């Protein structure tokens, strides 16, 4: 069944949201959702890399030999990440400081390699770009939702504007690592609940989203788990 352009784009936002449904890119989600502005910055940087890498990989899908495709993808992605790093360093130095080590780590964000492996190397350029755009928007939205919740509870502000000052004291632990895990867990529970009402399976950290599923099938028990799904 051929999907329309709109379906290609919109599936990434809710139905196959990379963070809440496919559980990809958890490291970046947990680390950079301490404030809404960090979340937006990280979301946009990742979206940019995702669109570029999906476009180029789908253009080169017939050129890249199948056996060395993962190293090729990683090199391409690393190139785009370097471009983003240089742009952000030059024009948004404060964002560069806030993102820190997590900016170069976009290279190993499973969303990007995952979409390259699952989508871009099987489809032509236009659907790949739309898919990347949708996934990017989905990632940014989920990150922003977490960023707003954590910033509101942890610092009493949203985008730096005081909201709860005076009547609720900030709960600092929401800005610390435990708060990240907790809020993420609650959001996934909520997404599972909503998906269940629509008759979908709960989110799972499974093989369907993992870009390395092909190479890790050697893990015997993993193989069994993958076969079950």
Partner 1 sequence: MIKSLVAIFLAAILTENYILNKFLGICPFLGVSKKLDTATGMSIAVTFVMVISTAVTWPIYTYVLEPHGLAYLQTIVFILIIAALVQFIEIVLKKYIPSLYNALGVYLPLITTNCAVLGVTMLVIEKGQSDPGFGYIQSLVNAFGSGIGFLVAMVIFAGIRERIEHNDIPKSLQGLPITLVAASLTAVSFLGFQGLVEGMLG
Helix, strand, coil % in the chain, rounded to nearest 5 = 70, 0, 30
- Whole-number Å distance between alpha carbons of 174 and 137: 24
Tokens for 118?
Answer: 């699952």
- Which position among 15, 37, 64, 104 is part of the footprint of partner 1 (CB under 8 A)? 104
Q: What binding mask, one character per residue, do residues 31-70 give for partner 1 by CB under 8 A, x or -?
A: x--------------------------------------x
Q: Alpha-carbon Rg of the chain, whole angstroms? A: 18
Stretch (H or E) spanning 75? helix 69-91
Chain-centroid distance of CA 49 in Å reads 11
Structure token digits, residue 165:
């000052």
Residue 162 β-bridge partners: 157
Which residues ranging from 113 to 172 are in contact with partner 1 (CB under 8 A)?
113
Answer for which of 4, 75, 94, 124 binds partner 1 (CB under 8 A) is 75
Structure tokens at 52: 């570029």
Longest Cα–Cα distance in the chain: 61
178: which 2 tokens? 């435990």
Q: How far is the CB of 123 from partner 1 (least distance, A)?
A: 22
Judged by CB under 8 A, the residue of 13, 19, 22, 23 near partner 1 is 23
Candidates 45-53, 105-113, 138-146, 148-156; binding stretch for partner 1 (CB under 8 A): 105-113
Residue pair 131/12 in contact (Cβ under 8 Å)? The answer is yes
The only residue of 110, 111, 129, 155 in contact with partner 1, by rule CB under 8 A: 110
- Stretch of residues binding partner 1 (CB under 8 A), selected from 25-33, 43-51, 91-99, 150-158: 25-33
**Candidate residues 92, 98, 108, 226; the one interacting with partner 1 per rule CB under 8 A:** 108
Q: Which of the ranges 48-56, 58-66, 140-148, 175-183 carries the binding residues for partner 1, by CB under 8 A?
A: 175-183
Is residue 50 a contact partner of residue 112, using CB atoms and an 8 Å limit? Answer: yes
Q: Does 105 bind partner 1 (CB under 8 A)?
A: yes
Q: Which residues of this chain interact with partner 1, rule CB under 8 A?
A: 23, 26-27, 30-31, 70-71, 74-75, 78-79, 81-82, 85-86, 101, 104-105, 107-110, 113, 173, 176-182, 184-186, 188-190, 192-193, 196, 202-205, 210-212, 215-216, 218-221
């Amino acid at each position: 069944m051929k999907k329309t352009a709109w379906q290609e784009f919109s599936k990434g936002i809710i139905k196959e949201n990379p963070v809440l449904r496919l559980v990809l890119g958890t490291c970046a989600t947990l680390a950079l959702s301490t404030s809404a502005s960090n979340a937006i910055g990280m979301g946009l940087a990742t979206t940019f890399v995702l669109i570029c890498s999906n476009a180029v990989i789908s253009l080169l899908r017939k050129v890249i030999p199948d056996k060395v495709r993962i190293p090729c993808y990683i090199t391409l992605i690393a190139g785009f990440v370097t471009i983003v790093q240089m742009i952000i360093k030059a024009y948004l130095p404060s964002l560069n400081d806030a993102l820190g080590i997590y900016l170069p780590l976009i290279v190993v964000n499973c969303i990007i390699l995952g979409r390259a492996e699952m989508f871009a190397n099987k489809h032509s350029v236009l659907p790949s770009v739309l898919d990347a755009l949708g996934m990017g928007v989905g990632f940014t939205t989920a990150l922003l939702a977490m960023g707003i919740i954590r910033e509101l509870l942890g610092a009493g502000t949203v985008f730096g504007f005081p909201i709860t000052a005076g009547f609720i004291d900030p709960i600092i632990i929401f800005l610390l690592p435990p708060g990240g895990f907790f809020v993420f867990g609650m959001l996934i529970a909520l997404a599972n609940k909503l998906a269940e009402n629509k008759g979908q399976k709960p989110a799972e950290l499974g093989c369907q989203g993992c870009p390395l599923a092909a190479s890790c099938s050697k893990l015997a028990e993993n193989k069994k788990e993958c076969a079950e799904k």
